[in-house]
Each structure stands twice: as structure tokens, then as C-alpha cells.
Amino acid sequence: MFNVGQCGLTIWAPNINIFRDPRWGRGQETPGEDPMVASAYSIQFVRGLQSGNWMKEHEIRNEVLEEDNGMGSLMVSACCKHFTAYDLEKWNNFTRYTFDSVVTEQDLGDTYQPPFRSCIQQGKASCLMCSYNAVNGVPACANPDLLKKARNDWGLKGYITSDCDAVATVYEYQKYTDTPEDAIADVLKAGMDINCGTFMLRGTKSAIDQGKVREEELDSALINLFSVQARLGFFDGNPREGKFGELGAQDVCTAQHKTLALEAARQGIVLLKNENKFLPLDKNAISSLTVIGSLANDSSKLLGGYAGVPCSPMSLVEGFQEYAETIFFASGCLDVPCASDNRFEDAILIAKKADFVIAVAGLDASQETEDLDRVSLLLPGKQMDLVSSVASVSKKPIILVLIGGGPLDISFAKKDSRVASILWIGNPGEAGGKALAEVIFGDYNPGGRLPVTWYPQSFTNVPMNDMHMRPNPSRGYPGRTYRFYTGDRIYGFGEGLSYTSFKYRLLSAPKKVNLLGKAETSRRRIIPQVRDGVNMSYMEVEEVESCDLLRFEVKLSVSNIGEFDGSHVVMMFSEFPKVLTGTPQRQLIGFDRLYVKRNQSAESSIMVDPCNHVSLADEYGKRVIPLGDHTISLGDLEHVISIQVF
């Protein structure tokens, strides 16, 4: 795309903010609510974009590319965004341009910051984008504690950009400075290198003339910017004669890329309900199919925000054409907001005609997007009434398909026996129509898992501007995400069904892990606590000698004991000794996807780094490893690992 003049080489992605609140309009852009998943995603995304190479999970854990100091050549420059604690667009009187994220050091340490740390340290990202919001009273782009941590502590080799017009907001909206020149001086001193927008273009010379910006600060920013350009090969002569000079339009919509888009869509589909094994449908016994919903016949609705131009777009209705001789379609609603039921009659009429009915509901950019948060977790407008009306007249129970990035309260459908199956397809891209049809008709066995908790509508009573992750019973605050949330769920993080059944067997895992403290700090490396008369303690990660040597593998076998071949996502969680206030209920520490044929088994090995995966943040944001029994769980299988000091 660059070689044909359609794109630059500095790409402002990935978005790795934690999907903290289900109403967030940009949650669809992220990998979900879990910091470990977001961290792994950031590493793969950045390495793939910058070098064209992805890594297996154990390679990431072992940091086989550690010799890369982050200054090698780049295919494309990736940018981790939005730094940090940014996940509010517009809610009540709060907007992202003026919002002050009041965040505890503990929540910063174990929720908001880990994806960015991984993106820089292991992903070797060459760019970091500071966000619009302030963090604890200081605009993120003018916050030296944040930006210098990324460069000095995490080793960022590259440039820091503002989000678009974020420097202007420092002065114009947040009123953090008295003059435009002061805002420019503050962000440059904090460590930001370039402004997206015209604010610094118009005001930097004045800031220099007034003596508020020094030449050394400009030099530092320019060095960071030009170093990335140099790594991209901008000073190596004719780019057509370079390493990637032969790439062009013919390399975009290739068969390989289309296949990859299809496989991504397949793997992302989550089966949430399947009463009496209603799915898959027998493709040899269906003559007619009714599809209902305004989202079903428009391929653009499958793409989500910041989508590129699809190569071979296909709507959901088009995807079903390969499997049914006759397809009836009615939108039911004019659009996703579905303000009127005046199209229900046609939908109800054709729902009575076909062998099976598929209702498509959910969200689009009118409900969730940049600069727009949701106010409700229910299906928009009269969509719920449409689904129920169709289900009441269908010959058989119906299939409900949900589109969109955000969680939904669909408890009405979960409880309704007339809704036999529920599938969430997210924003599956151009191949979503084909992938969904393959799943419904049994050519692909779904194995996707929810990346976010699905909360009830009552969660909208929780203030969106409250950034605390941990619950506070004294003020009726339930906490957020599966790690801390104490309220009711519609569906939980990691849920997802299959057409088959799987069984785990633990092959090997240590029963004990011994920590060795650094000699020079041995007297203060163990911090004791007494709770209920029991002496408990933990060790600060920075005091641990040789974290790399503590890594261990958990080996397991996954058996397919059902009737279908299929892929399965192994998710390994840890429950920690309750040493610290605010300890998570449980924490994902590893995952893998296996393809297992029926009546066969496959083995997996998950690498665990105790300093990273079984450590927590204390109230000061420092990582500590609780001593005592850690319970590792894989489905219903549990194993206790005792962590002690040697």
C-alpha cells in the first residue's frame, strides 16, 4: 500500500487499552478486559507489523529475540495506544478531552500498565501514543512520570506521539496551562516528540522565542523521530530498490490473505447457548431459511471501526446461500437503533414460512464508536421485541446471532426456550458471512471464548468515570472485569461452547517453586503479614534473584470425548494466596488453542513466569509474589503449587 501511494509506514495501532467498562465505544478495537491477553496480543501485533514475524507463545515467554535491542530495521512502525487509563469517550458530562482518570497505583500496576510495558519491552514497539485524558490530575501527554517510565524504565526506542489534538486539549479543554506556549513546553519536557494536529505547528516558534522550549528538547524529539524514519529505510535511496520494493497491489487481496481473514472469523465466533444440541443444522435436510435483521444483509456492518477496504465482502445472507435453496429475508427494523416496529409484520410473516429462522441483532457505529459510549447494555430500540416476536411464530426454536464489539444483556434470550442457540460473532470482517454459515451448518466447530464479561443492564448504574478495578462493598461498588467483579453476570469472561466435549489431564507441573532473594537485600526481601493469626508473606519481584530461572512448564493433555472434531482454547488460571488487600479472585496466566479430532488427544505446554504471571501489584504499584499455595486451574482440574523462599 505504501509503494502505490496509499499508506504511510507509521501505523498507529494496536489499541491495547483494557476494556474496563462494557459501555465503552472503542472497546471493539481492543483484545478485551484481561491484561495478560492484551499483553500477549500487543507483542504479536507489534512484532508482526514491524518485522513480519509472529512468535509462538513459548518463544515470547522465553524472549528468544532478547538480543534485539529495539533499534533494528523496520518493515512498518507500530504504535501502542492510548497511554494510559483511557477508556471513556462521552458519558454524562464527562468527555475524553477533559476527563481526569483518577487511578490507584495498584490498579495502574496490575491492570492499566502491563499491556504497554509488554508492548514496549517484548514487542519492541517503535512508537507510543499518549492519550487525551489526564491521569491523577496531569494530562497524559504532559506527564513526565508516565512518559519517562516508558522510555527509561521500559526501554522505548522510538517516538512518542500525541493523540490527535491532544496537546491542544492540554490548554483549551483541560486548562492545565495558562498559555498555548506553556502547553507546548510541558509536553516536550515530559518526553512527547510529535503532535498529531496543528497546535504545535502554530505555536512552537513562539514558545522558543519566549524561552520556554530549549534547543536540546527539540533535538531530543527530532532524534527520536528521525531514528524511526531511518529504521524504516527512508534514507536508503529509492524504496523500490529496497527489501520490500517489489510489493504492490498484487500482494494485497491474495488467496492466502483471504484464507487468513476467513480463519480469523471462524476462530472468533463464540457459541453461547445450544439447547438440546440444536446446532449444527443438517445442511442436507434444509430447503428454506428465514434470516431477519437489518444487520444481516449489509456486509459493511461486519467490519467495525477503523476497517480497511475489504477484498471480497459478503453479508450474512450471502453466506447462507451456499446451504439453503430458498432464503427469505426481512430487515424487521429500519436500522440498528430500531425506533419503530412498523416492519415487524413482514418479518413475522416470513418467519412462519421457513424450516429454520436466524435472527441477527446487535450493534453498529450508531451505538458504539470513537467519541460515543453506550448508555444501555440492552439490544437497541425494539430489537429485543423483534427477536421475541419472531421466536413466538417460528415452527422451531430460532438461532440468535449477535454482532458488535460490546457486551449485551440478552438475558431474555438466554432464558427463552424458543431461542435454541446464541452465537456472538463480534465484528468478524469480510469473511464473517461465510464463517458463520460454516459454523451453523457444521462445517466448522466453534471454539471462540468471550474476551469480556457480559454484565446485566443494572451495571449501567455504576459510574463510568470510576476507574477503580477492585470492589468496594461499603459504597456498593461491585468492581470490574472477571478478576474483581462481584455482581451477577449474563456470561463470563472465557465462556464459549463447542459441538463436542473436552477433558483435561495434567501431565506435569511442579508442586513447589523456591524463590531466591538477592543477597544484598536479603534482610528485607520477605514482607510478613499476619491475618487471622496466620503469618503470611510475600517477596517483591525486584528483590528476586534470576526471575528467568524460575520459569516452569505446565504440561497437559486435552482429549476430545465428543462427536465432532474441533479446536479448543485452553485457559489456565491462578488463584493466589490472599496475602494482599485487593487480590484478584483469579487471574489468567496462560492459554493455547489446540485442534483435537474426536476420540483423540493433543498435548499442550504452557510456560509460566512466576515474576510476571503469579505476581500482583501492592498498594504502591510494586509487583510482589505472594508466598504460599497457588491454585492452578484448567477447567475443573486443579493443581496446587507452593511458592516459598529458598
Residue 623: beta bridge partners? Answer: 617
Measured distance CA(236)–CA(322) in Å, rounded: 50
Cβ atoms of 432 and 405 within 8 Å: the answer is no
For 119, half-sphere exposure in the C-beta direction (CA atoms, 13 angstrom radius) is 34
Give the amino acid at 100. Answer: D
Cβ atoms of 125 and 79 within 8 Å: the answer is yes
H or E element: which one contains 630? Answer: strand 628-634
H or E element: which one contains 42? Answer: helix 35-51
Cβ atoms of 85 and 133 within 8 Å: the answer is yes
Sheet holding 326-330, edge to edge: 270-274, 419-426, 398-403, 356-362, 288-292, 326-330
Measured distance CA(316)–CA(584) in Å, rounded: 40
Measured distance CA(487)–CA(479) in Å, rounded: 8
Question: Is residue 583 exposed (0-12), middle (13-18) or buried (19+ Cβ within 10 Å)?
Answer: middle
Among residues 443, 286, 411, 303, the alpha carbon closest in space to that of 363 is found at 303
Q: Which position has the grid cell 481473514?
A: 261
Measured distance CA(111)–CA(18) in Å, rounded: 7
Q: CA torsion, points 610, 613, 614, 618, in degrees to nearest 10?
A: 110
Under DSSP, is residue 641 helix (H, G, I), strand (E, B) or coil? Answer: strand
Please state, in angstroms and as integers, the Cα–Cα distance from residue 507 to each residue in 56, 309, 444, 610, following that order. 21, 46, 29, 20
What residues are labeled active site?
163
